[in-house]
Each structure stands twice: as C-alpha cells, then as structure tokens.
Structure 1
Amino acid sequence: MPKVKLPALRPMALASLIANVGLIVTGAAVRLTDSGLGCPTWPKCTDGSYTTTQAMGVHGVIEFGNRLLTFVLAAIALACFILALLERPRRRRQVWLSLGVLLGIPGQGVVGGITVLTNLNPWVVGLHFLLSMALIVAAYALWRSTDEGDGAPVFRVATPLRHLTWLTFLASAAVVVLGVIVTGSGPHSGDNGAKRNGLDPAAIAQAHADVVFLLVGLTIALWFAFRAVGAPGPARAALILFAVEMAQGLIGFVQYFTHLPVALVAAHMLGAGLVWTSTLAVVWSIRERPPVASAAEPPTADTPAPAQQPVPAS
C-alpha cells in the first residue's frame, strides 16, 4: 500500500520521541544521585536565583541541568509544530499531535515543579513519570503519522487478535504503573529526607513481577497468533517487544537481588521507556492508514485507488 512521506517533519518527530524517552533517563539520574531537591524551590532554583549557585554544589547542577532539558524538548516540539503547519497540503492530524506534544511539555514541567514544592512526594513523582509516558505516546503517534495517510484505519488482523493486542497494551501499562509504585516504596527517593509511599516493597515488587509475567505471556501468544494468520509485520513487532522484555526482565531481577545498585536502576528506567515504545509499535503494526485521494484529482487508471482488504468477521 502506498504511503505518504513528510521528509521535513519525520526526522524532527523522531528526535522528539527520542528526547522524551531520554528525559526518563535524566530524571532517573536526578533521583538516583539524591539531587531531587538540588534546586529546593520552583520555578526558581533558589529563593534568590533562577539558576543554580555554587552553594548548591553538584546536586544543584544536576537538578538545574534536568530543568534545562525541558527547554530542549520544547524547542524540538515547537519545530515539529511549525513544520506541521508549513506542510503542503497541511495535515490536521500532524498539527494536532505536534500541538499536543508542545503543550504537554510545559505541563510536565509544572508537575515537576510540584514534586519539588511537595518535597518529592512519591505519588507526585510517580505522576511526573507517567506524564512522560503519555508524552511518549503522543510523540510516537506523531512520528508514525508521517509515514501513513489520513484515511480510515485498515486493520491487518481479525477482531480477536486486535483484542489480544489491546490486552497486551493494557498489561504493559499496568507494568509501568506498578513499576512506579515499586519505585515509590524503594530506597531511591531523590533526597535523603524524602518520604516513601509506605507500601511493602517486597509485596509491591511481587505484584509488579506477576504482571510482567502476564505481559510476557501475552506477547508470546501474540507472536504465535500473528505468525499463524500470516501477518509478518505484527509478528516482527511482537518479537521485538519480547526481546526488549527479556532484557528488561533480566535487569529487573539482577537489580532486585543485588539490592538496587544505581547503575542498574538507571538501566531499568531506560528499559521501561523502551518496553513502552515497543508496545506502541505492536499496536501500530496491526493497522495502516491509506492516503486520502484528493477531490480535485480522483483516481485514474494510471493511479488506482488503494484497495482496502476487509478483515473477515470473526
């Protein structure tokens, strides 16, 4: 099926996606180095300065550096929005998606400020992370939209497999949420005096592991099912997700039994972003959007309209 390319917007949208995944890692660095209150107030770094001071030491540099990254993400998102507006013909989905990412970044910054003002309340910190995951969804959707048309989605698999795909997506989301709760009960609070959520770390970690096993099982089922119905694209996406899950699971087990060393926790945070992105790839793989034929240029014998193969009812 022919695809629509937006050469100017596509690489910038990919940069936005990578930057939003990278923000998870830099946020982890702030927490793992106990720099969460390196700038003890917000929006200023200190009561008398918007920037870090020598008295704040390395913790102030790390926290202020993470704040500066918000402007980098905002600049990339603004570039995406401008490019979406300049595209001819202009495509409404790209404009709205790029605007959503652009508006989400300052919103994320405000929640980050609230985490500081609440002295790193673990629930607010968790919300800060989950908003990053939501921004990844928007950035991923924007990037993928540059390689597809604006027609109605055409599904490549039957309804039961679509349901199984969405169940896998929900399991992946549950893994992310429970991972946030595990983090809120663990030792890496972002500051020596920050409170924890009060939940039993072992019990929450076990619940998190149980849902991870469910996610892995659903992913394996998806791979076999996609292969059985002759859907190589979705099968490949499911296999990649499984490989990422295995790497993430290995890191998770090692970090748990080695008492959460900082380096492995940071790697696990990056892995969370990669598992989430790989999950989105599976969701996107089961459908495609054909280009919409212009009313002024109807399909001819030389340029036939793409045939849409309906999925058999199940």
Structure 2
Amino acid sequence: MTRGIRIASIATLATQIIIVGTGGAVRLTGSGLGCTTWPYCTPESFVPVPEQGIHGIIEFANRVMGGVVLLVAAIMLVLAIVHRRRHPGVLRLAILIVVGTIAQALIGAVVVFLHLRPDTVGIHFSISAVLVGVAAWMAWRVFRGRRARWGGSLAQRSLMLATTVMVPVVVYVGILTTGSGPHAGDGGAARNGLDPAVMQHVHALPAYALLALAVGLVLAGWRMRPFGIWAATLLGLIVLQATIGIVQSNLGLPIALVGAHMVISVMIVAATVVAALSLRVPAAESVEADDVRERVAA
C-alpha cells in the first residue's frame, strides 16, 4: 500500500508538469481558440469537428490531459485519506492539489471566454507553477515523512530563502515577457503591450541573479546530503534554462525551445521546493545535532 501512494505522488507531480507542456503546445501552435467553447469544443460537439483542423485537436488533447491530471489527483487524495495516519500532512496537500486542479479547469474556461487575454493566461500558468510546487512538496512528504525543523548552516538557509524568493520573481517576469511576444495562443489574441525586446533583457536580470544564488547553494552545501544533490540538480536546471533562453532569443523564438523553456521553468519550481525541504531534519536528527553542539560548546 505504501508503494501505491508513492507511485501516486510521483504520478501527480509528473502529470502537473506534463500538462504545462501540453498547455504550452496549445499556446505555441496558436491553438488557444481551437475549441471555441467550454466544456464543449464547439456549441454543438463535445469533441473537435473536422472544420477546426489541427488546432481543435491540439486544444482538445490538452483538455483531455486536464481530465487525466484531475483523475490522478483524485486517486492521490483517496490514498492520502487511507494513509492519513502513516503519512500525516499529506492529506492537506492532496486536497489542495485537487481543489487547485479544478480551479485550473474553470480558469481555463475563463481564458477561452475572454479570448486569451494575457492576464488570464498568465494567471493560468502561475497556478500551474504553484500546483507543481505543491505536488513536489507532497511527494517529498510521502517519501521522506515529516521533518521536525530547519537544519543546515545559516549560510545555507539564507541562500535557500533568497533562492525561494527569486524563483517566483523569475517566473512572473517570464510570464510578462511571453505575454508581450508572438506566442499569445492565437493569431488574433491580444498582447500585454510591453516591448518584447526590452522584456527579454528585464527577464534576464533576475534569471542571472537566480543562477548566482544556485551557484552559492552548491558551494555552501555540496558536502551535505541530500541538500547538496538537490542544490546541484537545481543549478543544472537553471543552467539549462538560461542556455535555452539565450538560444531561443537568437533564433527568433522557435516553438520547440519556447515550449521546453516553459516546462523547465516549473521543473525549477519543483527542484527549489525539494531543495528547501531537504534542509529539514527529522526529530531524532535534530536532538542529535543539539547534543553535538552542546558537547562542542562545553
């Protein structure tokens, strides 16, 4: 039974990330209005009709993926209820994910009804990033259990806090940058009015600050396990993200690279959450660490 909830927690995290990719495909192929209504694809048909072409298929596939995400989240919720004593705290996170996933579906309807306004599209993506972070937190709790308190050195905790603050800043500026550019989800969709050339540079500033913080995390925590491993994973994702960002900018924003950029952004959110949680230590380890410090002080 424990294996089941572990698989479900990983599946929840994976599907929350995958739907960012399918949603990105909708936006990047100009299929945001491939289905003109919600929950039906057309006023007369639940599924796409031939007249809608590939755009209808892409948009409908993303909606189907949304159903898969909700189903997996619901299964995780049932398992969290069954194992609520063995895995305390997981139930609250599972409830939050189910509620958030349902809210995402409703916001998706609003996005369609408002013809892909950049602010609604940005909210849609922001909630996806939050859900990925919560799913990563939940998976960590399932595998590692409850942690008593923060461990690590002051430098590690300070760098981790700064990184945790900087990640949503980078994601938000990235949302504004995308909303100013050519990939708004449909050929006739509005942009947010910002200059995309300027926004690329604005986006780069917090991104490079985040890169510097990640380097600091690795240098400060490479000897500490598992924190050092997750800090290195986070750094690797940020380096990959920065590389893709530079290349896509110079190549005129090809949709494959922009889509990868979107998916990696939420993977960075997940890695940040797990890296932060890896600084938490169990109660037994907290007591042992206190004893060591007392002996050293004596």
Change (3 A) 1:60 1:86: same
The match for 2:13 is 17
Look up the equivalent residue of 1:209 and give its one-letter code: A
Alignment of 1:80-99 (within 5 A): 80-87=76-83, 89-99=85-95
Counterpart of 1:269 in structure 2 is 262
Residue among 31, 41, 44 paired with 1:48: 44
Over the matched positions of the two proteins, sequence identity in percent amounts to: 34
Deviations 1:172-214, CA, capped at 9 Å, x for gaps: 1111111111000000111110000000112211111011110
The 1:149–1:28 alpha-carbon spacing in structure 2 relative to 1, beyond 3 Å, is: closer
Q: Provide structure 1 residue ranges, at least 5 long, that are not aligned to the other structure.
A: 292-304
Alignment map for 1:163-202 (pairs within 5 Å): 163-202=158-197
Q: Distance in 1 between matches of 2:210 and 2:86?
A: 39
CA distance in 2, matches of 1:306, 1:254: 45
| CA shift for structure 1 position 306 | 8.0
Q: Is the CA contact (8 Å cut-off) linking 2:140 and 2:274 kept in structure 1?
A: no
- C-alpha distance in structure 1 between counterparts of 2:90 and 2:84, whole Å: 12
CA drift of 1:71 comes to 1.0
State whether structure 2 residue 152 is matched by structure 1 residue 157.
yes
Select the residue among 240, 246, 249 that pairs with 2:242.
Answer: 249
Q: After superposition, what is the alpha-carbon deviation per residue over 1:258-314, rounded to whole angstroms, capped at 9, x for unaligned? A: 1101111111112212222221221111113448xxxxxxxxxxxxx984424969x
Per-residue CA deviations over 1:208-260 (Å, capped at 9, x if unaligned) read: 10111100111111221224xx4242222211111111111111101001110
TM-score (norm 2): 0.92
The structural deviation recorded for 1:6 is: 3.2
Q: List alignment gaps of at least 5 residues for structure 2.
A: none
TM-score by length of 1: 0.88
- Alignment partner of 1:120 is 2:116: yes
Aligned-residue offset at 1:90: 5.0
1:298 is matched with none
Per-residue CA deviation, residues 25-62 of structure 1 (Å, 9 max, x unaligned), is: 10010011110000112222212222222221111111
Which residue identity is paired with 2:168? A
Cα RMSD for the two superposed structures: 2.1
Q: 1:246 to 1:184 in 2, by over 3 A?
A: same
For 1:84, the aligned partner's letter is A
**Conserved? CA contact 2:226–2:278, under 8 Å:** yes
- Larger helix proportion of the pair: 2
